[in-house]
Amino acid sequence: MKIVLLGTSSAVPTLTRGLSSTALIREGDVFLFDCGEGTQVQLMRAGVRRSRIHSIFIGHLHGDHLYGIIGLLSTLHLDGREAPLNVFGPEGLRVFLNAAFRTSDLQFAFRLTIREFPRGYRGRVLDEEEFYVDALPLDHSIFCLGWRFQEKAKPGVFNLEKAEELGIPSGPLYGKLQHGENITLADGHVITPDMVLGAPRPGKSVVYCLDTQFSERSIELADKCTALIHETTFGTDAAEMARERKHSTMEDAARVAREAAAENLIATHFSSRYDGRQLARHANAFA
């Protein structure tokens, strides 16, 4: 999996930072988390193919996370897209989108599925063969969902030598064992998958927590994840402002990552009051 930060600025864009959006690329499919203004330009700059967008997840309805979606959808329509597209987000998203579609007489040839979640929602929003996506509410000034993209565990490595040793004829029986089924050999011996498979290989996970102040729920969502993408609007110099506006400091994000035992922390959503050098200083303090 590859993570591309398309926009890392909070509230307003700067000359060097776009508004919130992050692409997660897995097996060629693109999963877009938030879609601030300018996201479609950033996708082109980063070489992320918009035609491969599988789903868009909007965590909350503040403009800096949302206002780019209409332009992007309009472009997908002009591209002649045929593949279906999912858009997930909190209650109110459908009203916002439909108002724009109606006003601009925008009708799609592809199937656009909008799924809204009520305030306080927690649960599985997408469940596919190789991965799933869970959501739970964060702690922001308006209802905001955090997302966990989780690859399902893959079966352990098949031990060919062991299989031959046990006298299993190669062919479809191998496949059955790899799919977790017991098999019976011609001589009546029963072979269970654990006799030829290594330990299951855990899937990777990416957790997206924007926008939120420090919350135990972020820790729950990020439990032992491969990568935690967490907002860090402010440095410790503005901790009070962070609390007032229900945002996080670099220290809050580091605490969530530590308590959740996340393998990696990716900081984003920086206030325009900080330049690149100041951000690096804040980040280094918690590295």
CA distance 274 to 75: 33
CA distance 117 to 53: 21
The helix/strand/coil state of 173 is helix
Residues 6+ apart with CB under 8 A from 166: 185, 189, 191, 195, 196
CA distance 102 to 29: 29
- Residue 64 within binding range of Zn ion, rule CB under 5 A: yes
Q: Is the peptide bond before 211 cis (omega within 30 degrees of 0)?
A: yes
Q: By rule CB under 5 A, what count of residues binds Zn ion?
A: 4
Least distance in angstroms from the C-beta of 129 to Zn ion: 33
Between 7 and 286, whose beta carbon lies closer to Zn ion?
7
Which of residues 17, 54, 62, 81 is near Zn ion by CB under 5 A?
Answer: 62
Which of residues 37, 211, 251, 252 is near Zn ion by CB under 5 A?
Answer: 211
Between 40 and 213, whose beta carbon lies closer to Zn ion?
213
Least distance in angstroms from the C-beta of 272 to Zn ion: 12
Handedness of CA 134, 137, 139, 140 (dihedral sign): positive
β strands within the chain, DSSP E: 2-7, 21-26, 29-33, 53-57, 85-90, 112-117, 123-127, 131-137, 145-151, 183-184, 190-191, 205-209, 227-231, 265-268
Least distance in angstroms from the C-beta of 229 to Zn ion: 13
Spot the catalytic one: 29, 34, 64, 127: 64
- Part of the chain binding Zn ion (CB under 5 A), chosen from 2-10, 66-74, 200-208, 270-278: 2-10
CA distance 58 to 254: 23
- Part of the chain binding Zn ion (CB under 5 A), chosen from 37-45, 68-76, 194-202, 211-219: 211-219
Between 62 and 282, whose beta carbon lies closer to Zn ion?
62
Interface positions, 4-43, toward Zn ion (CB under 5 A): 10
Least distance in angstroms from the C-beta of 144 to Zn ion: 7
Between 10 and 249, whose beta carbon lies closer to Zn ion?
10
**Closest to 86 measured CA to CA, from 105, 104, 108:** 108
**Closest to 232 measured CA to CA, from 24, 62, 10:** 10
Least distance in angstroms from the C-beta of 5 to Zn ion: 14
Between 143 and 149, whose beta carbon lies closer to Zn ion?
143
Least distance in angstroms from the C-beta of 241 to Zn ion: 14
CA distance 213 to 207: 15
Assess whether 64 carries a catalytic annotation: yes
Between 54 and 62, whose beta carbon lies closer to Zn ion?
62
Where do we find the tokens 């596919």?
128
- Part of the chain binding Zn ion (CB under 5 A), chosen from 1-9, 45-53, 203-211, 220-228: 203-211
What residues line the site for Zn ion (CB under 5 A)?
A: 10, 62, 64, 211
> Where in the sequence numbering do the catalytic residues fall?
64
